[in-house]
Each structure stands twice: as structure tokens, then as C-alpha cells.
A and B are shown apart, each in its own frame.
Chain A
């Protein structure tokens, strides 16, 4: 089926630390891949996306590269800030114009 697996959280980092949140997807077809972010009390919002193999999505210092050979789409940021504290969701296009989301990874950045 169409599924996405994320590393479990919470991930706790100090400000300016390097962030990696792992995400892998089931290899049915070549889905578009997404990272969404949810700040406390809000709905999800798109952070970045990649639509084909080797594409790199980037936004607000976050990056993720579509790796077909490892079926992965890991989220990275070189230097996190307290304001990055949120829940991050990896998602894939199901091919039927809907998204399947991973379970979410909570990031806590301490000053």
C-alpha cells in the first residue's frame, strides 16, 4: 500500500544544532513527496516538496532530497532555531490525488 514511515520523536536539540528527520516511503510508482509542518494549535502547512527522483526541495533553510534508490526523503537543516519547534510530517502522493502522511515527528529546540 501507500505508506510513509518517519522516525519517532520527540527530537530535542539545542539552538544552532544540525537536524535530520528520517522518512522512507513505500516504492509504489514514483510519488511526489512532501514535508508539512504543524505549529502548536494550527493546521499543517507545506514546508517543501519534490516531484521526481534526485529533486531537492528547500524552504526556510530546510532541505530534503528525493532518493529513489533508498526510497527516502530525509529532512535536514543546518542550524535550527527555537522557532522551528513544531511537528513535522512526511507525506507522499497516493497517485489518486490525495496524500498519505507519516506519524509525525515532534521537534523541540532549546535555547
Chain B
């Protein structure tokens, strides 16, 4: 079975450029999460979707970040314009969650972003 698929695995870009990270969740999962991992701040929840609807985006750093989930099998995280402090590993995860409890999160391998 295919797990959560993220692309690109590595991205190096220059400050000011637009970055788009992509995620394909596991088929049948109803929740999708974007996390950011850095040495300084650890693993931070940026945003999560349930049934393609954004539920909580309070972790999104600022207006430069946006996320979409146009259908159950695809999500994007966009940074425009990018800044060096956005350099991190961005993880997408999906789960099948009930009405009150969260199911096991399955993580992708991450997208390592370097902004010069």
C-alpha cells in the first residue's frame, strides 16, 4: 500500500521565490495535517483539514503561508514570498479520525526546504 506521498523531497530556492509543497494522503483517510520541523521549534502543527475543509489554521505563521485541499487525494502548502527563516522540513500526515478521537497519523517522508 502506498503511504503518504510528498513532493518535492528537497527544494532549494532563493528568498522571495514562491514555493509549493504537495501531498497525497492515504486513500480513505479523512484528515490531513501539515507540520513543520526545525531544530529550534521542534514539530509544529501548521494547519489541518477534515473532509477537505480547513479546521484549524492557527499554526500558520503568517499570510505568506497558505494551504489548500481541493479534493480528498491532494493538498498543497504554498509559501509566497519565501524567506530564509522558512527553511525546515515540512511533513504531511493523514489519518482516519472519528467524530471525537483522532486516528493514527501516517507521515510522509517530508519535504526539506532551504531558502537562501
State the A residues within 8 Å of B (CB).
Answer: 32, 36, 41-46, 49, 51, 89, 93, 96-104
Contact = CB atoms under 8 A, between A and B. Distances in A.
Contacts, number: 56
A56 to B, nearest CB: 18
Interface string B85-116: 00000010100010011101111111000000
A43 B93 contact: yes
Given A43-B108, A43-B109, 15 more contacts: A32-B101, A41-B109, A43-B91, A44-B43, A44-B91, A44-B107, A46-B105, A49-B104, A89-B43, A93-B101, A97-B48, A98-B33, A99-B102, A99-B105, A101-B45
Interface size grouping (class) on chain B = 20 to 34
A44 to B, nearest CB: 5
A101 B4 contact: no
Contacts of A103: 42-43
A44 B105 contact: yes
A93 B35 CA distance: 15
Interface of B is mostly: strand
A45 B107 contact: yes
A46 B102 CA distance: 13
A32 B97 CA distance: 13
Given A98-B45, A102-B42, A103-B42, A43 B104 contact: no
Contacts of A36: 105
Contacts of B43: 44, 89, 101, 103-104
B102 A32 contact: yes
